[in-house]
Amino acid sequence: MTGDTMREIAIIGDRFMLPEVFREKIEAATDAPLHIRTMQQAWPDEPMEHGYAAPGMEGLKEYFGRPEEVLAFIGDAEILVTQLAPLSASMMERLPRLKLVAVSRGGPVNVDMAAARRYGITVVNTPGRNAAAVAEFTIGAILAETRLIRLGHEELRRGTWRGDLYRADRTGRELSEMTVGVIGYGNIGTKVVRLLRAFGARILVNDPYVQLSPEDRDAGVTLTSLDEVLSESDIVTMHPRVTGETRGMIDAAALAKMKPGTIFVNTARGPLVDYDALYDALASGHLGGAMLETFAVEPVPSDWPLLRLPNVTLTPHIAGASVRTVTFAAEQAAEEVRLYLAGKGPKNPC
């Protein structure tokens, strides 16, 4: 292609990753002649689909959009920029001009990566796009439990003034006198540790595949075993990816190793946790409380037992949702488009 050839870009956004933001960032990143078309999907007002549940979509974990509609929209585009639109093997077979797919997520779970390699389609992602948002949310989740914010709020809404929560035997604790165990030291875990340091907490980290940053090490953060994190921490917060090694890692045995009264926080992924075992640990009083932001099945069933426990705070998988996440992910995707149009290699190939 010559430098004056109009390049076709299809943008499939949604009500979080707005297509107009993608377009704005791409147009600002390059002066190449572009023909850009946009589509907005209904997520998150409507739930995602799962590849295992739909014939022909087995290579995808989760996605949003009807394949035929997505195919028709992409058409002869050379570049697709999206957050959730599906790309299965059978779809790629019908998109011979597609060469680059920029997925504005930490992982391309809506793309059949094995098929992309077969068809010579480069797939890039936006790692760390919501790391700051999730880290901030995690600190808020911890404080909601340790300082009795959730409990005080619920009681007051019921018309009960809990002045007794000021009693020394019932009130909350400051992070400066607590040990916080951080499992997973990636983009999010490192930011959680950095924020926790400002509170003066003792911080234990478990991640067998990393080393601590010099700043964290100099600040007294300790990299240690999973057993020590579980047994020594007053708060355990989850930040690993879901892999064969980490799936179900917080099971009955792991929960039994935690100290009585431990607070458990999961703003990572639901499959990391055995929720039946977690229910038992909370209902028995072994754990002091939990803050759960992600679940193995989403949306959670209305009759899910954890919804009825008094010592649990739950939110509908919103930790990564912030305005800055939108603009930052769009900027990363736009940079990948710029590099591709300039004939350069990707920054974050999948």
The CA distances from residue 326 to 3, 15, 169, 251, in Å, are 30, 10, 44, 34
Q: CA-based angle 102:104:107, to the nearest 5?
A: 90
The SS3 call for residue 263 is strand
The SS3 call for residue 252 is helix
Which residues, other chains included, contact 63 with Cβ-Cβ below 8 Å and sequence gap of 6+? 48, 49, 51, 57, 84, 85, 86, 109, 110
What beta strand segments (E) does 177-278 contain? 179-183, 202-206, 222-223, 235-238, 262-266
Place of tokens 């209904």: 42
Place of tokens 């940053």: 213
Provide the β-strand partners of residue 179: 202
Q: Give per-residue pLDDT as tens, 7-46.
A: 999 999 999 999 999 999 999 999 999 999 999 999 999 9
The two tokens of residue 134 are 């999730």
Question: CATH for 7-129+323-341?
Answer: 3.40.50.720
User: What is the chain's pLDDT, residue by residue, as a tens digit (350 residues)?
Assistant: 445 689 999 999 999 999 999 999 999 999 999 999 999 999 999 989 988 888 889 889 999 999 999 999 999 999 999 999 999 999 999 999 999 999 999 889 999 999 999 999 999 999 999 999 999 999 999 999 999 999 999 999 999 999 999 999 999 999 999 999 999 999 999 999 999 999 999 999 999 999 999 999 999 999 999 999 999 999 999 999 999 999 999 999 999 999 999 999 999 999 999 999 999 999 999 999 999 999 988 889 999 999 999 999 999 999 999 999 999 999 999 999 999 999 999 999 99
Class of domain 131-314: alpha beta
Q: Give per-residue pLDDT as tens, 288-314.
A: 999 999 998 888 999 999 999 999 999
d(CA 221, CA 231): 17
Q: What b-and-e string marks burial along 330-347, b requiring 16 or more CB atoms within 10 Å of the CB?
A: bbbbbbbbbbbbeeeebe
Domain extents in the chain: 7-129+323-341, 131-314
Q: CA-based angle 120:124:126, to the nearest 5?
A: 170
Provide the β-strand partners of residue 102: 81, 124
d(CA 68, CA 3): 32
The two tokens of residue 214 are 């010099």
The two tokens of residue 157 are 């809404």
Max Cα distance, the chain (Å): 75
Q: How, if at all, do strands 34-40 and 100-103 pair?
A: unpaired
pLDDT at residue number 200: 97
pLDDT at residue number 53: 80
Q: Name the residues annotated as catalytic.
A: 269, 298, 317
Question: Can you say whether residue 56 is alpha, beta or left, with left for phi > 0 and alpha for psi between -120 and 50 degrees?
Answer: left
pLDDT at residue number 52: 81
Decide if 7-129+323-341 and 131-314 have a common fold: yes
Residue 107 class from Cβ within 10 Å (0-12 exposed, 13-18 middle, 19+ buried)? middle
The SS3 call for residue 137 is helix
d(CA 345, CA 332): 14
The two tokens of residue 187 are 């983009």
d(CA 313, CA 290): 6
DSSP H or E segment with residue 17:
none
